[in-house]
Amino acid sequence: MMRLHGYFRSSTSYRVRIALNLKELEYETVPVNLLKGEQRGEAFCALNGFASVPALEVEGRTYTQSLAILEWLDERHPERPLLPRRIEDRFVARQLASAIAIELHALRNLSVLQYLKRDLGQSPDAIDGWYSHWLNRTLTPIEASLARRATGDFLFDAPGLFEAVLIPQLYNAARRGFDMTVMPHLTRIEAACLSLPAFVAAHPDNQPDAPETP
């Protein structure tokens, strides 16, 4: 049994949950409360020296960094692949997923938001405006890329790496009140994904550490 150490609202934990569910792999959830700083505790740091979630325990080994975990899962469990067959299609999936994970998610990381508020004295409104700027900067070219493609419900024939990275970030965007009405291709993909059991089961509200009142 795999053990996934994560936090219910962590985007990186969310994306790994989606991937595990898409591959129909069983796993045990081990909550790590980021707001209480449990990721910096001695026991967890011994498991994951990066002091971050997720951490995936498999057969005595620990795997960290979510994008690397997704690629490892696809190689270790090639059934129900996260990446398409064609090399050019795999590049597109990696390209768009990387833009979200590297150019956008890193700026929305809890430690960054805490630094802006605690150390730089930024107000919640200023932080929301700052985050909206980067959402626009990253999601707009992704929307344009999708518009140039003959896309259906997903980037390719089935949800995979791109969708696993995209959906958690759109969840965060919604929590911040970001207007997605001008991005119909992204919202179409989001709606299609959220209708699937793998995504429903991975949703933050459906995790054992989610509060009863969000």
Helix (H) or strand (E) holding 106: helix 106-108
Enter the tokens of residue 141.
């070219």
Asked whether the predicted pLDDT for residue 213 surpasses 60, the reply is no
Confidence band for 149, pLDDT divided at 50, 70 and 90: confident
* Displacement of CA 125 from its chain's centroid (Å): 24
**Are 94 and 194 part of one and the same domain?**
yes
Number of structural domains in the chain:
2
Asked whether the predicted pLDDT for residue 93 surpasses 70, the reply is yes
Answer yes or no: is 205 within a domain: no
Average pLDDT, the chain: 91
Count of C-beta atoms within a 10 Å radius of residue 146:
18
**Are 105 and 62 part of one and the same domain?**
no
User: Are the C-beta atoms of 12 and 105 separated by less than 8 Å?
Assistant: yes
User: Are the C-beta atoms of 186 and 140 separated by less than 8 Å?
Assistant: no
Domain hosting residue 102, numbered range: 87-198
- As a whole-number percent, the residues of the chain with pLDDT over 70 amount to 89
Q: What residues are paired with 53 via a beta bridge? A: none
Confidence band for 125, pLDDT divided at 50, 70 and 90: confident
Confidence band for 115, pLDDT divided at 50, 70 and 90: low
Please, how many CA atoms are within 13 Å of residue 107, restricted to the half-sphere of its CB? 18
Answer yes or no: is 173 within a domain: yes
Answer yes or no: is 214 within a domain: no
* Displacement of CA 128 from its chain's centroid (Å): 19
**Which sign does the torsion angle of CA 156, 95, 135, 200 carry?**
positive
**Are 59 and 96 part of one and the same domain?**
no
**Are 99 and 194 part of one and the same domain?**
yes
User: Are the C-beta atoms of 84 and 160 separated by less than 8 Å?
Assistant: yes
Phi-psi region of 80 (alpha: psi -120 to 50; beta: other; left: phi over 0): left
DSSP letter at 23 equals T
The whole-number average pLDDT for the span 15-27 is: 98
Asked whether the predicted pLDDT for residue 214 surpasses 60, the reply is no
What local confidence, expressed as pLDDT, does residue 104 receive? 82
Answer yes or no: is 58 within a domain: yes
**Are 192 and 103 part of one and the same domain?**
yes
User: Are the C-beta atoms of 161 and 97 separated by less than 8 Å?
Assistant: yes
Q: What is the CATH number of the domain that holds 68?
A: 3.40.30.10
